[in-house]
Structure 1
Amino acid sequence: MPPKPKARAGVKLSSWVGFLIVVVSLAVVVGIIVAANSGDDEGISGDVDTSLLTEDFIDEGLAQALKVEGKDAVSVRLSEYDLTVEYFDPNNRETRYFETNDYVEGYELRVEKSHYDSYQPVPFDLSTIDAATMIAAVKDALTKTDDVYTYDLRIDVDRDTGDVQWVVSVGGDDSIQVTSAP
């Protein structure tokens, strides 16, 4: 009778070893799949949400803003939360914000009265803004710091030079700001 308990112990041990091999194999496969799917954001570290960095989302938002508000924008902002196109009406001293995101269908249009007589932003042609260039500017800035948790791209006209400027602000281990004029 003593050999039977040893045989059972051997069977239990081999079952556990087999189970562990299956679990480790599944973990390796899941790791490989996750690594393969994250290749689009290579070089970007941290918990920043880059799901809005797609040409479809940005192109659709810019096209809607053009259709609803026109081409004379005073700024475009893209963050991990939304795309906002700002317009300014100097006659009525009003700022209009066209906002779109991926969690509410359509867009929101907010209007705010300007309280500053000196506020006079310079408009630029919204149709000249390209989604692929926006994505490239943000992704480039995201690779310049570690543990990124936020980004914000702002496109507007520099008051000193009159040129359209692109400023990407990234929050991470070292918060940075990258300014360019594509």
Structure 2
Amino acid sequence: MRRLIAGQGLVIAEQTPSMISLKVAPVEAPNDTASAATQDIIVLGQGQSRQVQSVSPRAMKKLTPGASPLRALGRLPGVNFDSSDARGTYEAATQLSIRGFLTDQMGYTLDGVPLGNMQYRNNNGLSINRALLTENNGTATLAQGSGALGTASTSNIGGTVDFTSIDPATRFGCRSRRKLRQR
């Protein structure tokens, strides 16, 4: 038995012919306190604590005019977007799946404001297709993995999708594609 528990942090507390009781081995304090204080901490990675990908406004412009920004997210690795219509705007028949997490398990925000659950016929959500005209879509950022405390959502178990809108024009009128490319 001693060979089985060697190196596991356990010791035999009590032993009878029919029973062996184990307990946690006492931790020995290091003799040299200076060596314990000078241990190095190694950090691998920087910036984000999870995988973050963005779809730029330029990439959104490659979609069919009027298409849902969710369709653009479908081009990212690990993301699957299914819809019954070509543009992805029919809410009753759209499904976003990100590494096995479905639409109602994701957190959605628009310019930092929570959209709630975007599942069809839900009483606490607003679809991005209703919240923002497709011509005003800015960058869409997808953070895969477990939910983040920095995202205002109650359903971000599978990650978050943050939509941004483009800045409003300083003058009344329409924007040409040339002006958008210059930005």
Q: Greater share of helix residues, 1 or 2?
A: 1
Q: Which fold has the larger relative contact order, with Cα–Cα distance below 8 Å and residues 6 or more apart in sequence? A: 1
TM-score, reference length from structure 1: 0.28
TM-score, reference length from structure 2: 0.28
